[in-house]
């Protein structure tokens, strides 16, 4: 699992994806082939907005082992202000989360491989209180 995770760190620690210069489509996770323009597409890397709003969400109660300590936790589909949509965890009270809620990215721990295993970090979202 480590090499697979390691390869993606750049994209997980920051919201780095790609954009097609030909049609303007934005991709997160990054793609190196534009499904719209196909071979005519021209792909370059881009960092996307750090703020957005919740499109839909769930509160997960029945979770895999590595997330046991976190449950219940919120997983949401978030639309960033530049239109990119991604799936991420939202850190807040499950009572407060709602569709349309403003959120901003935060660097957080996801889980660890056992007691002495490596710790996986990535981007989560927290309520956007308006401060930068």
Partner 1 sequence: MQRVAIVGVGQSEFGELWDRGFRDIVLKAGSEALDDAGLEGKEIEAIYVGNMSGGRYLEQEHISALIADYSGLAELGIPATRVEAADASGGLALRQAFLAVASGVHDVVMAAGAEKVTDVGSEMTADIMSSTADREWEGFVGATIPALYAIMARKHFEKYGTTEEDLALVSVKNHRNGALNPKAQYRREIKVEDVLNSPKVAEPLKLLDCAPLSDGACAVILASEKVARQITDNPVFISASAQASDYLAIQNRRDITEMRAVRVASEKAYRMARVEPRDIDVVEVHDSFTIAEIMAYEDLGFAEKGKGAELIREGVTSLEGSLPVNTGGGLKACGHAVGATGIRQAIEITLQLRGEAGKRQVECERGLSLNIGGTGATAVVTIYERG
Residue 91 in contact with partner 1, rule: CB under 8 A: no
Q: How far apart are CA 32 and CA 127, in angstroms?
A: 32
Q: How far apart are CA 80 and CA 63, in angstroms?
A: 26
Asked if 107 contacts 50 with a C-beta cutoff of 8 angstroms, the reply is: no
Structure token pair of residue 32? 């190196």
Among 19, 20, 54, 76, binds Zn ion (CB under 5 A): 20
Closest to Zn ion by CB, 39 vs 61, is 39
Residue 46 in contact with Zn ion, rule: CB under 5 A: no
Residue 48: which region, alpha, beta or left (left: phi > 0; alpha: psi -120 to 50)? beta
Quick one: which segment of 12-20, 79-87, 93-101, 117-125 binds Zn ion (CB under 5 A)?
12-20
* Residues 33-52 interacting with partner 1 (rule: CB under 8 A): none
Q: Which residue, chain included where needed, has tokens 């981007």?
A: 123
Q: Interface residues with partner 1 (CB under 8 A)?
A: 4, 8, 12, 28-29, 55-65, 67, 70, 72-73, 75-77, 85-89, 94, 99, 110, 120, 122, 124
């Amino acid at each position: 699992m480590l090499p697979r995770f390691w390869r993606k760190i750049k994209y997980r620690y920051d919201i780095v994806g790609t954009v097609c210069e030909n049609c303007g489509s934005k991709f997160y996770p990054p793609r190196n082939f534009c499904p719209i323009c196909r071979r005519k597409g021209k792909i370059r890397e881009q960092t996307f907005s750090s703020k957005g709003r919740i499109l839909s969400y769930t509160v997960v109660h029945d979770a895999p082992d590595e997330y046991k300590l976190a449950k219940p936790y919120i997983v949401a589909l978030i639309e960033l202000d530049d239109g990119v949509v991604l799936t991420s965890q939202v850190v807040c009270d499950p009572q407060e989360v709602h569709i349309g809620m403003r959120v901003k990215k935060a660097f957080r721990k996801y889980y660890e491989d056992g007691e002495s295993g490596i710790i996986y970090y990535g981007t989560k979202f927290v309520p956007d209180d308006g401060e930068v």
